[in-house]
A and B are shown apart, each in its own frame.
Chain A
Amino acid sequence: MKLSLNWIQEFVDYKLERGAQELGDFISLSVAEVEEVEQVGVALAQVKAIKVLSCAPHPEADRLQLATIDTGSEERTIVCGASNCRPGITVPFADLGAKLPITDKEGKPAILEIKKAKIRGVESTGMLCSEAELGLADSAEGILEMDDSIPAGTYLNTLEQYQGIEDIIFEIDNKSLTHRPDLWGHYGFAREFSAMFDLDLKAYPGENLELKDNGFSLKIDADDCRRYSSLRVKNVSVSDSPQWLQDRLNQSGINTINNIVDLTNFILLELGQPMHAFDIAKLKGQDLIVRHAQNGESFKALDENDYSLTEEDMVIAIGGQAEALAGVIGGDSSAIDESSNEILIECASFKASAVRRSATRHGIRTDSSSRFEKSLDPENTPLALARIWQLIKELCPDAELVGGMGDFYTQAYPEAQIETSYEFIEESLGCEVGKDFILNRLNRLGFDIEGDLKLGIPSWRNTKDIAIPEDIVEEIGRLYGFDNITPEALHTEDKVPQVNQARILERRLKDILSNGYGYTEIMTHPWCGDDELKAFGLSSEGLMTLQNPVSEDAKYMKPSNMPKIIKAVSENLKHFNSVKLYDFNRVYDTSQMVQELLPSERYQFTGALVPKSAGKKDLQTEAFYELKSTIANLLQVAGISTWQLSDYKDAPEWVHPGISCQFRRGRVVLAEIFKLHPAVAAKNKIKSNAYLFCVNFDELAKSKRKLKYEQVSKFPAVPFDITVQAPKQALAGDIQGLIRKGGGKSLLDVEVFSVYEREEDKTVSFRMHFAAKDHTLVHDEIHQLQKNVVAAILKGKYEIPNLPDDLK
């Protein structure tokens, strides 16, 4: 919203004693955010009228002239390019050093500083100005010719004709006014000035109107109308508005239409109260009903669009026809035009939510609806009507009231009082502000003060804005200046902070993945769409579905992060020949709902490893096993020391069935790793071997990391090797399990040290160590352990070639 300082000064005797920007900052700190400060007419104070004495052609350029001028104190010759420059005329002149705010070629504000310049070889000191250069017009032909009676040397801002043009316009951020219905007009800001600078606020102009029948019958048949006031005026002459009125509207960015419509908009800008005028001759009757629309009722608005209304909309129906969409926009059929003679002025108070819903439903945002949405003070309607009547009389001297003010006030806000205390205010701020200051400012803001400290809330702050003692703290704090409060350290006694173990684990695992194993973290969006689901063989059934997605491919909350990872791999392979990345993110599991409506959000690490394709070794198996050990290490860091490896059960289509496994604890899947299925790889244009992983972080976070120290054994470990013959697809892990069983407590460790693939089967060689905790194993014990291990393996139906007789 644009705010004119001149306009504010009509209601409060504020003298500008600081820079415009500084005042803007002060408003930002005390009331609402000033986004921009524009100084209008600043050129006028820097430019004086001069007389052109003579003109001579420029020796080097046909289009330029050398003008000798009388500045009032001296004669000077300057270069001028205007074709209307000629001896005898009085024109504005900007001397060296003047800084004129202009609009540059791109339409952006800029400063034109007048400097000494050589123009085609001739020195020029100063510039003759056009209206555009003075900021008086958007564009201009030639220099401005002024009245010859103006003496040379007169500064333009002292001239009668330019009085009132110098102004400061503050552009206020509308968002910072959401809670302040009273600040949507200049008068409300004038009240803030009165409180900010301790100045008297003038009463809002206009004489009280008499309540009297005006011939229109009124019925309110909708709960969302608090008050409906009206004024009937005849003998108005509709024409263009006078300049001052046009200027006021233009300044605020509102188009001028005609004097009556402009006056309603003027009040909107001054008091913040929307109004509407109907041409009585065009109305179909004199019975006015505020009611809900019928479903499908059609309405042609002033914007010349046809709207189909619903029963949730509220209309002003006159003679049975909807003439206005309440609080939003007036109707086309009863619009004021040059022929209008008798008018009905509506000044009502509608409920915020109803207006907001109507405006949103039909996509019409007007200056009226945006004000009603803030919950306007219904006490304003008689003020607004009194003021407009005062101005109509000024503009149309023949105008007459028919009857008096019609007023239907069904829902006043109950008067409200806040009980608080000086101590509460000062303690809440943490600062001694002083009783006098508090009293003075609350008084200026219009509070009704009683005792120590009961506050009657003024009607314009009583619609939703102020209700509790904390609101008073804010009023005093902002006017005192939050910057003037001395910061004070928290006195809160520190309890031993509870540590969020899951977040610590998250960071630890990220640290290991990134700084240890060289994976880079990426972030992906939580959404997916039908295309993505379909491409990866997933169903949209039961997923969390957005009513208002930004786009179709962001409609559901993703049930798996793998599609995002696969896409990231595919994209990154365009730029890199190897990829190591992961995403720490959530997936949204709707199979188990929380608080009925919410999915279980499961934290996962999902990621991918694409090894460099240029290499010498068997990269395929190497990368898989590298990834396997990485994941195993993550589990261990999380405090999980044992798990089972199993086939990937119920594998999605992106999992290679033969090169994949799950880390499980019973039925719980801790993590899974797999090679990307070649078919999915091909579909996603991934030519390299890609290995992917998923770690179910929530399961890891459940586990407590416990480090248990065991004494370093003093007794030697005895090695034992054995080679087992097994079918090709036998799992070495299964045989290891048998060995562990056979070795029992004395088996220290067992590992595979070679696998030899043969035509029909394979041999797997294991190395293990035996040791006892409390003594050195003797020969017989060792022999027995070896026999136990062998027996366990044989029992598992594996063969042991070349088995020595003594172990059979």
Chain B
Amino acid sequence: MIEDINKIVAEFTEKVNAEGDLQALEQIKAAYMGKKGPLTGILKNLRNLSPEEKSEVGQAANKAKNAMQEVMENRREGIIRAQIDAKVANEWLDFTLDEESQEIGALHPVSQMQYEIEDIFTSLGFTVQDGPHCELDFYNFEALNIPEDHPARDMQDTFYFENGAILRTHTSAIQVRAMERIKPPFKILGPGKVFRVERLDASHEAAFHQLEGMVVDEDISVANLIHTMKTLLSEIFQKDIKVRLRPGFFPFVEPGFELDINCQICNGKGCSVCKQTGWLELMPCGMVHPNVLRSGGIDAEKYTGFAFGLGLDRLVMMRHKIEDIRHLHSGDLRFSSQFK
């Protein structure tokens, strides 16, 4: 009987492995392993056998069933895999096409520069402050110790509204608004757009970007200012930057400075950009004038501080070698989309 079983298994295996169709495979399975199949027939005759033989044949039949099951499964998987392989063999696409391209956009290069610098400052403990574009004379001039007959107040430089308000001419206007909100000691940063009466050309814009910084505490000195500026500029340019301070006059600081850096184009050797001097004028800065502290409600006997301003557009133009400042506000994606 065991021989019969083996014969059935062999016959089943041969048929299954020859079959390539899943449905036909199921039929073979039903024919051999179903209720009317040969294996069932053999098991029906078991009762004529001795207990030992019964157990022997029973085990053999079970083993055969398992073996057939396995053959069946393998074959089924084989057929499915063959079908997939056939399908895959026919699948192909032209990877050089861009059917559903999902391009990323870009932040404006001035935003990128601004955020980079903000990050440097915030890591040094500065907080970012904001102020309005349309300003009162008080915040832009008076509180900053800029007297009434100062040329900066000329209509040639400053946009005046019919109601007497102005467009802020520098981010320094943010200083006083910030001092009204927060108490010293503090380190603040005020980035934003500022406006001057300028006709638009390749190097002049009526709207541009500045970033104002201010530190107020007890016993702040010029030496502190120089140190902070050096640290900051080295971070921005990612290398050690040579700086020099020249006397510079700004009514809201005393002493006031122009800070120059060694020309990044010629490394200080002298070129047309730096007018052969090897230096580039980068930022005005200075010790906060006591009158300004007072305007902000700060005790100028107790506190001192320094402030500085940075022109972002020039930095951006220097970094990317942008030839025409008008691109910045053009809204032209051929320009903006390059800064991904």
Contacts and interface: CB of A to CB of B under 8 A. Distances in A.
Given A352-B149, A492-B185, A597-B136, A522 B331 contact: yes
Nearest to A545: B162
A576 B333 contact: yes
Contacts of B249: 176, 178-180
Interface residues of A, number: 96
A473 B219 CA distance: 14
B287 A482 contact: no
B129 A500 contact: yes
Contacts of A586: 133
A485 interface: yes
Interface stretch (B29-37, B47-55, B239-247): B239-247
A28 B246 contact: yes
Contacts of A576: 333
B10 interface: no
Contacts of B165: 544, 597-598
B228 interface: yes
A487 interface: yes
B290 A575 contact: no
A473 B246 contact: no
Interface in A556-584: 557, 564, 567-568, 571-572, 575-576, 579-581, 583-584
Interface string B242-256: 001111110000111
A521 B336 contact: yes
Contacts of B27: none
Nearest to A30: B247
B118 interface: yes
A554 B206 contact: yes
- Which residue, A178, A516, A525, has most C-beta atoms of chain B within 10 A? A525
Contacts of B129: 500
Given A29-B244, A518-B104, A430 B206 contact: no
Contacts of A431: 221-223
Interface in B43-65: none
Nearest to A426: B221
A168 to B, nearest CB: 15
B227 A488 contact: yes
Given A497-B125, A520-B337, A581-B333, A470 B254 contact: yes
Interface stretch (B12-20, B82-90, B151-159): B151-159
A35 B279 CA distance: 11
Contacts of A471: 254-255
Nearest to A483: B244
A411 interface: no
Contacts of A387: none
Contacts of A516: 104
B209 to A, nearest CB: 9
A550 interface: yes
Given A356-B151, A478-B255, A546 B136 contact: no
Contacts of B155: 547-548
A465 B237 CA distance: 36
A515 B107 CA distance: 8
B331 A567 contact: yes
B144 interface: no
Interface string A170-185: 0000001011100000
Nearest to B338: A520
A525 B336 CA distance: 15
B135 A598 contact: yes
Contact of A597 (B115, B118, B125, B164): B164
Given A30-B247, A547-B160, A572 B258 contact: no
Contact of B105 (A180, A373, A493, A517): A517
A547 B165 CA distance: 10
A468 interface: yes
Contacts of A572: 331-333
A429 B286 CA distance: 11
- Which residue, A520, A576, A599, has most C-beta atoms of chain B within 10 A? A520
Interface stretch (A265-273, A506-514, A682-690): A506-514
B230 interface: yes
B134 A547 contact: no
A477 B334 contact: no
A137 interface: no
A580 B193 contact: no
A523 B197 contact: no
Interface in B165-201: 165, 167, 182, 185-187, 193, 195, 197-200
Interface in A570-628: 571-572, 575-576, 579-581, 583-584, 586, 588, 594-595, 597-599, 601
B275 interface: yes
A478 B136 contact: no
A568 B331 contact: yes
Given A352-B149, A497-B122, A522 B336 contact: yes
B290 A470 contact: yes
Contacts of B333: 520, 522, 572, 575-576, 579, 581
B331 A546 contact: no
A521 B106 contact: yes
A427 interface: yes
Nearest to B207: A525
Interface in A721-767: none
20 contacts: A178-B151, A427-B219, A428-B221, A478-B247, A488-B223, A490-B224, A491-B219, A493-B185, A499-B127, A514-B106, A521-B108, A522-B330, A522-B331, A522-B332, A550-B198, A550-B199, A557-B134, A584-B111, A597-B163, A601-B133
Given A470-B255, A550-B199, 11 more contacts: A33-B258, A360-B154, A427-B221, A470-B290, A485-B223, A511-B107, A520-B106, A546-B160, A549-B159, A588-B134, A597-B161
Shortest beta-carbon contacts, A-B, top 10: A430-B223, A430-B221, A474-B255, A353-B149, A487-B227, A482-B245, A568-B331, A514-B105, A488-B223, A520-B105
Interface of A: 25, 28-33, 35-36, 176, 178-180, 352-353, 356-357, 360, 373, 427-431, 468, 470-471, 473-474, 477-478, 482-483, 485-495, 497-500, 502-503, 507, 510-511, 513-526, 544-550, 554, 557, 564, 567-568, 571-572, 575-576, 579-581, 583-584, 586, 588, 594-595, 597-599, 601
